[in-house]
Amino acid sequence: MCFKVKTDMSDCAIKVENLDKVYKLYDHRRDRLMDALGLTKKKVYHEHYALKDVSMEVHKGETVGIIGTNGSGKSTILKIITGVLSPTAGNVEINGRISALLELGAGFNMEFTGIENIYLNGTMIGFSNAEIEAKMQDILDFADIGDFVNQPVKTYSSGMFVRLAFAVAINIDPEILIVDEALSVGDIFFQNKCYHKFEEFKKAGKTIVFVSHDLSSISKYCDRVYLLDRGKKLGEGSPKTIIDMYKKVLVHQLDSKPEDHADSFNRGGMKQLDGTDGNAIPKFWKDKMVLNPSQDSYGSGLAEIVDFCCVDNSGQITNTVMKGDTFTIRMKVKFNTRIQQPILACSFKNRMGVEITGTNTMFEKIDTGNPEKDEVMVVNFTQNMSLQGGEYLISFGCVGYREGEFTVYHRLYDIFSINVISSKDTVGYYDMGMETTVERLV
């Protein structure tokens, strides 16, 4: 492996070539000891590739995102770029001074105070005490943790910790900033402050590389995105292109084409839903969704919600929808007895459990008729996505009146989430699509 810091890479800030990171996995502790001491001739471990033949370039002034599922190697490659880990094979070349904000606590001494850790981190990066003191007030103002800066960091909350860590990382005037999921800990006001700093960095020609599961931030701030999966690079390109690829990875449809599935998602396309026609269509739509493992389900059992999904504007089953796109929430109900005028419902909640919006067939004045026993009904809730970027929980219901009494036949609460990806948000939960103009009067 070759790790170099260069100053003659033209416009390239980071260059990674054919990077491998292999871990040895042992079945027993004694195997690890015997292998370390060279007491066995046979191979007593399994090789796990956290990264395999990964190459990427980051140009000066770019903001580059790295996305992928858990265990795809995102954090590993950042740690190798910053020198925290050594790769098994490959080359890394860096052009510029790096400041890194990796997992919480990296580079901090828990027994030191906040002030002492500022000096410690600044010294590790290469600053003199005089240089650190010149930046001290900017760091303290950005962190905004008050007198706690004089207390040991082991007494900090996670939010205070990340505020100080980010303040140090971003105020030491780095040429390259590396961030790994750290912003998800701070509150919304601190996150907003950090992203304003991102904008300042971009305008100043700084380079930013960050890993995030927040696809809205990836879409909004990144010039280019890399997609990793199980240690391999699957692709690179514009945020929209790579996010679309990532959506397919999440539902194991990366190698399929939208037209392979389109018929099953048409309003009348029920013939393929049993998965017996030879195509790669699941028996259930929900099998292609990421579901809530602790779902809340109850009801009389006279009807049953047997399947459901979210379908994007390309016909793909997905948990991710782009703001502004048309999408469909689909629910299939099987009736176990004859029911008069069932009411079929769908609702959206935010992360705090507050119901944001929803509708049902009664509100929409749809005649659902009197389905007989064993009859199956599909309802499609189709609309344009105008919710702000974020994650929302989806619930379903099948209710009605039986012998004059309101009856819950079946309800599924918070059964799956939808991640709305947005490159522009407004105030509140909804974007009302306002057109804003400014006139300058002399």
Determine, yes or no, domain membership for 254: no
| Tens digit of each residue's pLDDT (9 = 90 or more) over 75-90 | 899 989 988 889 999 9
Determine, yes or no, domain membership for 184: yes
238 alpha carbon, distance to own chain's centre: 16
- Mean pLDDT for 184-194 is 67
Nearest to 305 by CA among 419, 417, 395: 395
**193 shares its domain with 97:** yes
Query: What is the rounded average pLDDT for all residues in the chain?
Result: 84
Q: Are 201 and 408 in contact (CB under 8 A)?
A: no
**110 shares its domain with 221:** yes
Determine, yes or no, domain membership for 426: no
The pLDDT value recorded for residue 102 is: 74
The pLDDT value recorded for residue 268 is: 35
Which of 218, 249, 280 delimits the end of a domain?
249
Which of 205, 222, 249 delimits the end of a domain?
249
The partner residues of 420 in beta bridges, in order of sequence, read 321, 390
**268 shares its domain with 129:** no
**290 shares its domain with 203:** no
Name the domain count of the chain.
2
Determine, yes or no, domain membership for 15: yes
Q: Are 337 and 373 in contact (CB under 8 A)?
A: yes
- Mean pLDDT for 163-181 is 83
Is pLDDT above 60 for 349? yes
In sequence order, what DSSP letters do the residues of 301-333 get, joined into one string? SSEEEEEEEEE-TTS-B-SEEETT-EEEEEEEE
- Res. 281 pLDDT band, cuts 50 70 90: low
The pLDDT value recorded for residue 406 is: 93
The pLDDT value recorded for residue 266 is: 42
**333 shares its domain with 368:** yes
What is the sign, positive or negative, of the torsion defined by CA atoms of 262, 265, 269, 272?
positive
- Res. 253 pLDDT band, cuts 50 70 90: low
Residue in this structure with the two tokens 């969704």, named with its chain if needed: 289
Written as six digits, the tokens of 442 are 């002399």
Ramachandran sector of residue 167 (left: φ over 0; alpha: ψ -120 to 50; beta: rest): alpha
Query: First and final CA of the chain: distance in angstroms?
Result: 64
- Res. 55 pLDDT band, cuts 50 70 90: very high
**204 shares its domain with 310:** no
Determine, yes or no, domain membership for 435: no
- Cα 284 to Cα 248, 313, 321: the distances in Å are 17, 20, 20
| Tens digit of each residue's pLDDT (9 = 90 or more) over 388-405 | 988 899 999 999 999 889
**117 shares its domain with 213:** yes
Of the candidate ranges 80-84, 172-176, 382-386, 401-405, the one whose mean pLDDT is the lowest: 172-176
Percent of the chain surpassing pLDDT 90: 47
The pLDDT value recorded for residue 269 is: 37
Q: CATH number for the domain including 11? A: 3.40.50.300
Determine, yes or no, domain membership for 182: yes
Nearest to 144 by CA among 173, 164, 170, 172: 164
- Res. 152 pLDDT band, cuts 50 70 90: very high
- List alpha helices for 172-238, DSSP H: 188-203, 215-221
**172 shares its domain with 316:** no
| Tens digit of each residue's pLDDT (9 = 90 or more) over 123-142 | 877 788 898 899 999 999 98
pTM (two decimals): 0.69
Q: Are 175 and 13 in contact (CB under 8 A)?
A: yes
**91 shares its domain with 14:** yes
Whole-angstrom distance, CA of residue 431 vs CA of residue 424: 9
**17 shares its domain with 50:** yes
SS3 label, residue 426:
coil
What is the number of residues in the chain?
442
The pLDDT value recorded for residue 186 is: 58
SS3 label, residue 202:
helix
Determine, yes or no, domain membership for 427: no
**194 shares its domain with 267:** no
| Full strand arrangement of the beta sheet holding 2-5 | 2-5, 89-94, 12-26, 45-59
Which of 194, 227, 249 delimits the end of a domain?
249
Q: CA 138, 144, 147: angle at the middle one, nearest 5?
A: 105
- Res. 95 pLDDT band, cuts 50 70 90: very high
**HSE of 299 in the Cβ direction (CA atoms, 13 Å)?**
22
Is pLDDT above 50 for 40? yes
Is pLDDT above 50 for 273? no
Higher pLDDT, 162 or 15: 15
> By residue range, what is the domain housing residue 390?
262-421
The partner residues of 296 in beta bridges, in order of sequence, read 413
Determine, yes or no, domain membership for 267: yes
The pLDDT value recorded for residue 278 is: 36
Q: CA 143, 146, 150: angle at the middle one, nearest 5?
A: 95
Percent of the chain surpassing pLDDT 70: 88
**235 shares its domain with 266:** no
Residues 6+ apart with CB under 8 A from 97: 125, 126, 174, 175, 176
Is pLDDT above 70 for 5? no
**Pairing mode of beta strands 232-237, 355-360:** unpaired
Whole-angstrom distance, CA of residue 161 vs CA of residue 312: 39
Q: CA 236, 238, 239: angle at the middle one, nearest 5?
A: 100
Written as six digits, the tokens of 64 are 């580059």
Higher pLDDT, 310 or 46: 310
Of the candidate ranges 174-188, 221-235, 266-280, 381-395, the one whose mean pLDDT is the lowest: 266-280
The pLDDT value recorded for residue 257 is: 47
- Res. 17 pLDDT band, cuts 50 70 90: very high
Q: CATH number for the domain including 386? A: 2.70.50.60
- Mean pLDDT for 379-385 is 96
Residues 6+ apart with CB under 8 A from 354: none
Q: Are 301 and 339 in contact (CB under 8 A)?
A: no
